[in-house]
Homo-oligomer: A and B are copies of this chain.
Amino acid sequence: MALIVQKYGGSSLESAERIRAVAKRIVDTHKAGNDVVVVCSAMGDTTDELLDLAAQVNPTPPPREMDMLLTAGERISNSLVAMAIASYGAPVQSFTGSQAGVITTERHGNARILEVTPGRVQDAIDAGKIAIVAGFQGVNRDTRDVTTLGRGGSDTTAVALAAALEADVCEIYSDVDGVYSADPRIVSDAKKLDHLSFEEMLELAASGSKILVLRSVEYARAFNVPMRVRSSYSNDPGTLVSGAMEDIPVEEAVLVGVATDDSEAKITVLGIPDVPGEAAKVFRVLADAEINIDMVLQNTSSLHDNTTDITFTLPIADGPRGMKLLEDLVKREGWQNVTYNDEIAKVSLVGAGMKSHPGVTADFTEALRDKGINIGMLNTSEIRITAVVRRADMEDAAREIHEKFDLGGDEPAVVYAGTGR
């Protein structure tokens, strides 16, 4: 008998019919002799509808009120799932984030979990009940106000609960039946992966894979909670994400997949005097505006005028704001220029196997060269290589690299409608 935490995304709960199907799965898992704790996202488009209402009422709503509003969505799905489970005759009790002991920082809209004290959830489990917990929400330790956890919050709730309850596994259900070696919509022979390490999953998530939110994987790694990515439409065992990279024997380490990301733009600041402290001004002005930058590349100093250039990527959504700040900076400092390009994409290759194969970077760059694809920026970590290419080349680049490293499978990829969150 195991303790299983299951998290269901909004598209798995978008109608009464889907909620009943999910409830059936939960009840079956419980009947099989497991203790089950379920974390629910809001139904289908509920969150978007509430955001839309809020925008009509106040374009810049107070964050505390926004959290009160949005958490209603998870309370609705939460109680409906509990009702559906009860209709199958199984014992069940639902909990809000607060009732489940999800204690957070006070930062409304993007709170961090400080601790989880799931005494009431544990009591329900001990009484033989299925426990249903509203995802995405917690309660501020100091003010007892309701908070939300930001993007991917329900995944994080599930992992944090699994850690606090010392669950055997945290299953994340969505429309996709696992983690693939590439986006099956781009690479037709993408292969479902049976198992990968936390580090590999982290690199995939950071490189654009949408299947798991980076933050939830970081949490799972920190508390060593095995995660399993599964589809709420099938009984496929899905993909297990667990274990440290160090635990993988060298001869078993492989390249797990290709990730693509076309959500970023590239900014280049030209003609920065190559003396200490000048380049830092670029990063300071962006940090003060809470703009996260991703890949950074500083060219070596130009010998004839002793200046340097800095290139970095950032979310397209922050592009215009970042450019405004940097144009002001360049003018103020008398630097040469700043340029913007949002027609780019990142293509990444990830896998622990990279460590034992020194030629991977060479093969990677040659694959793109053979296809006539120009590399704008290149960046590597211990288990990842990322190239920035023109967005128009992204899909070709992903297919080429997937092919070059022989990552494909024999079975066709299974893709369901929508994208679970």
Residues of chain B within 8 A (CB-CB) of A17 are: 56
Find out whether the CB atom of B80 lies under 8 angstroms from the CB atom of A62.
Answer: no
Find out whether the CB atom of A79 lies under 8 angstroms from the CB atom of B86.
Answer: no
Q: This chain: how many copies in the complex?
A: 2
| Assembled-state Cα–Cα distance A86/B19 (Å) | 36
User: Looking at A59, A61, A144, which has the most chain B CB atoms within 10 Å of its CB?
Assistant: A61
At the interface, yes or no: A75 with Cβ under 8 Å from chain B?
Answer: yes
| Assembled-state Cα–Cα distance A64/B92 (Å) | 11
Find out whether the CB atom of B16 lies under 8 angstroms from the CB atom of A56.
Answer: yes
Rounded to whole Å, the gap between the CB of A174 and the closest CB of chain B is 21
| Assembled-state Cα–Cα distance A157/B234 (Å) | 47
The stretch among A65-73, A239-247, A263-271, A306-314 that forms the contact with chain B is: A65-73
Residues of chain B within 8 A (CB-CB) of A280 are: none
Find out whether the CB atom of A68 lies under 8 angstroms from the CB atom of B54.
Answer: no
Rounded to whole Å, the gap between the CB of A20 and the closest CB of chain B is 6
Known contacts A16-B53, A53-B16, A53-B80: does B69 contact A87 (CB below 8 Å)?
Answer: no
Of residues 8 to 65 in A, which have CB atoms within 8 Å of B's CB atoms?
16-17, 19-20, 23, 50, 53-54, 56-62, 64-65
Residues of chain B within 8 A (CB-CB) of A144 are: 99
Residues of chain B within 8 A (CB-CB) of A99 are: 144-145
Find out whether the CB atom of B72 lies under 8 angstroms from the CB atom of A76.
Answer: yes
Residues of chain B within 8 A (CB-CB) of A80 are: 53-54, 57, 69
| Assembled-state Cα–Cα distance A62/B92 (Å) | 9
Residues of chain B within 8 A (CB-CB) of A87 are: 57-61
Of residues 372 to 418 in A, which have CB atoms within 8 Å of B's CB atoms?
none
| Assembled-state Cα–Cα distance A231/B73 (Å) | 31
Find out whether the CB atom of B82 lies under 8 angstroms from the CB atom of A19.
Answer: no
A residues at B contact (CB < 8 Å): 16-17, 19-20, 23, 50, 53-54, 56-62, 64-66, 68-69, 71-73, 75-76, 78-80, 82-84, 86-87, 92-94, 96, 99, 144-146
- Can you list 22 A-B pairs, Cβ within 8 angstroms, ordered by A? A17-B56, A20-B57, A50-B76, A54-B80, A57-B80, A57-B84, A58-B83, A58-B86, A58-B87, A59-B87, A62-B83, A65-B79, A65-B92, A66-B79, A68-B75, A68-B79, A68-B96, A69-B76, A69-B83, A72-B72, A72-B73, A72-B75
Closest A-B pairs by Cβ, 3 of them: A16-B56, A69-B79, A58-B87
Excluding A20-B57, A57-B83, A69-B79, 5 further A-B contacts by CB distance (< 8 Å) are: A17-B56, A62-B82, A65-B83, A65-B92, A65-B94
